[in-house]
Amino acid sequence: KKTFSLTGVLGSMMGAISDLLNPLADFSLYFTIVSMAVVIALAVLFLVKKTLRSKILAPMLVAFFCAIASTCFYLSQSSSPEAEAKGVLAANIPGIQSLQESLGIIGKNVAEIKETTHRIEGKTDQILISIEKIGQKFETLSKQGAIIDNPKQPEEFYNNARIYELRGDYGNARRAYLDYFKFDLNLLDPHLRFIKFLKV
């Protein structure tokens, strides 16, 4: 009787642990499968090796109760989306969710992380649009073919650099390129042109 109750408690605790770890992975299912395999293996040994029966009984009972508890938790998790995400215990007992958070099993800030990701994606899109606009301005300015007095935008400096370069005014071209590079844009064409310019 003592062995039976002790193994029942241990097996149930292992089942509860599998439910507690559920946010990380489907541990209830894993515990169920492993426990069943252990029960079957130990049951075969129990039947075959009569001399080991007393040693095999306790581990077999622990595995058996763990399999029962894990299976119960696994089947109960499908009862609600919250139980499926957090585990049955965390969905029904408020303190368990706090325990999961303190152990780092689930994070409170998941929503904040998602929001930050969306903001970053939005800013990335804005940057791409800005780079496209700059590229369009480059094309427009290069078609005009005139020096821009008091340039302020990167495309204006780049335009001036190209015009100075074409006119053979290498000093002003170099200064205009360097002013353009202060904007730290990751456009390949200006860098390649500047490298060619430096070789002249």
Question: Domain ranges in the chain?
Answer: 2-108, 112-199
**Predicted pLDDT of residue 1:** 55
How many other β-carbons are positioned within 10 Å of the β-carbon of residue 129? 10
Q: How far apart are alpha carbons 192 and 162 in whole angstroms?
A: 12
Contact 160, 172 (CB under 8 A): yes
pLDDT in tens, the chain (200 residues): 566 677 677 777 777 777 777 777 777 788 888 888 988 998 898 888 888 888 888 888 888 888 888 888 788 877 777 777 777 777 777 777 777 666 665 555 555 666 677 777 777 777 777 767 766 766 666 566 678 888 888 888 888 888 888 888 889 999 999 998 898 887 788 888 888 888 76
- The pLDDT value recorded for residue 98 is 73
The DSSP line for 67-114 is HHHHHHHHHHHTT-HHHHHH-HHHHH-HHHHHHHHHTTSS-TTHHHHH
Q: How high is the pLDDT of residue 178?
A: 92
pLDDT computed for residue 114 by the predictor:
61
Cα–Cα distances in Å, from 91 out to 13, 22, 103?
Answer: 17, 11, 16
Which residues touch 103 (CB under 8 Å, ≥6 apart)?
none
CA 89, CA 42: separation in Å to the nearest integer?
A: 30
Structure tokens that stand for 38 in this block: 């252990």
pLDDT for the residue numbered 175: 92
Fold of 112-199: 1.25.40
Reported pTM: 0.45
- Three-state DSSP class for residue 43: helix
